[in-house]
Amino acid sequence: MTLEEAQHQLAGTEARLRALEDELAQTKRDLVALNLELEQRVDARTAELRQSNLELEARVHAPIPQLRQANDNLQSFVHAAAHDLRSPLRAIKGFSTILLEEHAGHLDPEARFLLQRITQSADQMQHLLNDLLEYTKIVAAELNLQKVSLQDAVRDALALLEPDIGARSAAVTVQESLPQIIGHPATVVLLINNLISNALKFVSPNVQPQIRIRAESTGPRVCLSVQDNGIGIEPKDLSKVFEAFQRLNAKGAYPGTGLGLAIVRKGAQRMGGCAGVESQPAKGSRFWIEFQAA
């Protein structure tokens, strides 16, 4: 190859290199422009998402004060209605009792039967109103938590139920030493009272109620349990028993309002605990309440 040919080839190579450099420079400019466009798109989409998120949060949170106010109003209404209904109910029961006791001789058997049904219905309504008042009180009241002796609380609950325990000839066994917890004294007694009352009530006819009350401490928690030899609960119904107005048995067989266990669960939650049950049909139940240890 001559010098002239080599110079010509070198010049061609240099030209191709310059063309390649120009192409690379253009590609770089295109990439920079594309990157800028992508950044702008991302920023715009981020702004849209941020705005959508703010609007969604506003939609979610806006009804909360109204819902809270509506719930408070409903609780106040239920409490006031239950309280105001007690006076006319006492009058209905009182007048019916007077008719049965002082004028029974002037009434035929059907009239006496109907009056007895009226007094029984008045008693049931009175229990329902009392439970409604207790439930609304637990939901809305300010509970000042303090140290509570479970030993004293169980003793007080048993004292309140002494007539029922005697009427059923129930055998109640209480663990010798029960620990202290953090709770609201009156509410703790009420919850224990409800559990023992259920243990007395939901027992097969002609079966002596056997009730065992004990507590276990596990670190910062105390679990108080009330175990019975009652009719038990079907597995499919275990998740329902703590719901308000849930009745798993016929009203005539086992009277009640369907609020007792709802009060237990709500009261336990208000004191920072929880409630539960373990049960098998015809083998009894073990209800428990978990408290904060003192």
The CATH code for residues 64-140 is 1.10.287
So what's the pLDDT on residue 71?
Answer: 58
Cβ within 8 Å of residue 126, ≥6 positions away: 86, 89, 90, 93
So what's the pLDDT on residue 291?
Answer: 95
Average pLDDT, the chain: 82
176-215 pLDDT, tens per residue? 899 999 999 999 999 999 999 999 998 988 899 999 999 9
Lowest mean pLDDT among 106-120, 162-176, 260-274: 106-120
So what's the pLDDT on residue 229?
Answer: 94
Rounded Cα–Cα distance for residues 240 and 231 (Å): 16
Pairing, β 221-227 against β 285-293? antiparallel
Rounded Cα–Cα distance for residues 288 and 241 (Å): 13
Cα–Cα separations (whole angstroms), residue 63 to 55, 229, 284:
13, 47, 45
The structure's pTM equals 0.65
User: Does residue 63 carry a pLDDT above 70?
Assistant: no
**Helix axis angle, 3-61 to 63-102, nearest 10°:** 30
SS3 label, residue 224 = strand
User: Does residue 253 carry a pLDDT above 70?
Assistant: no
Query: What are the extents of the domains in the chain?
Result: 64-140, 146-293
CATH of 146-293, picked from 3.30.565.10, 3.90.1150.10, 3.10.150.10, 2.40.50.140, is: 3.30.565.10
